[in-house]
Amino acid sequence: MCYTSDVNASDKKTIHSAAILLLGGSGERYQSDLPKQFVEMGGKPLFLYAYETLEASNDIDAVLLVVKKGYEDLASTLLKGHSKLLGIVTGGHSREESTYLGLKALENYGANPYTKVYIHDADRPLLTESLIGRLSQEVDRSLFAVPALSVSDSLAYAPDGKRIKHYGDRRGNVTLQTPQAAVYALFLKAFEEKKDELSSYHDDASVVLSALGLHPAIIRGEEANIKVNDRAGELFFLRLLKGGKR
């Protein structure tokens, strides 16, 4: 379902680059009735940090929100007057289903096969314009890129979360971040092919790799580009925010 706010949605101008900002999740860990992306942290709703960075970026023409059902009006109210907001899409049952709905909606907003698309989790609030810019340059070269950090800690496998079964070699392993970026045609083709099994995937690049056999290029991620999952993550985020670690 596509919920359209009273912004530029009907213009259907050619879009050279667009961000899909995912506002899924719940407020259970925060004992909140609101999904965590709407919970106020540091003086404003969590999702606004990433949104404002996307809007400020010269590498982003437009931003499309994908929001949990029932929160479309709240998102629209909070973003009233923001010039780069394309519209608001009601999300699906899983993260990747929500991404697919966002990708499909971009067809209605002037996306073409070579439009650069950046898919970002709204609970990564310390996104920087620098990271977006480096992703943009890599997509120009490779068509498909993700930010990642090398694993620096010891790596072990503990399937039950209680005891280590065996240790792994951290060499060659990386942790992935968002935004993950590609030209629109790649994302759309991959998600169309895997649309009936999207709940088994947990990030966007893995869908493209599985569907099309394409391997994403890696750019260096940023240590401050953390995901806020719980109260401990919130406290860490607020410390980074106070220290200007953007």
pLDDT tens digits, 73-113: 999 999 998 989 999 999 999 999 999 999 999 999 989 99
Q: Is the pLDDT of residue 6 over 60?
A: no
| Range name among 5-14, 21-30, 202-211 with the lowest pLDDT average | 5-14
The model's pLDDT over 58-72, given as tens digits with 9 standing for 90+, comes to: 999 999 999 999 999
Give residue 93's pLDDT: 92
Copy the structure tokens of residue 33. Answer: 């009735």
SS3 state at 35: coil
pLDDT band at residue 27, thresholds of 50, 70 and 90?
low
C-alpha span between 35 and 23 (Å, rounded): 8
* Per-residue CA distances from 218 to 17, 34, 174, 189 (Å): 19, 34, 10, 21
Give residue 1's pLDDT: 45
Copy the structure tokens of residue 201. Answer: 């995937």
C-alpha span between 9 and 40 (Å, rounded): 27
Backbone φ and ψ of 84, nearest 5°? -90, 0
pLDDT band at residue 232, thresholds of 50, 70 and 90?
confident
More confident residue, 205 or 245: 205
Percentage of the residues of the chain whose pLDDT score is greater than 70: 91
pTM over 0.85: yes
Q: What are the chain's domains?
A: 2-242 (3.90.550.10)
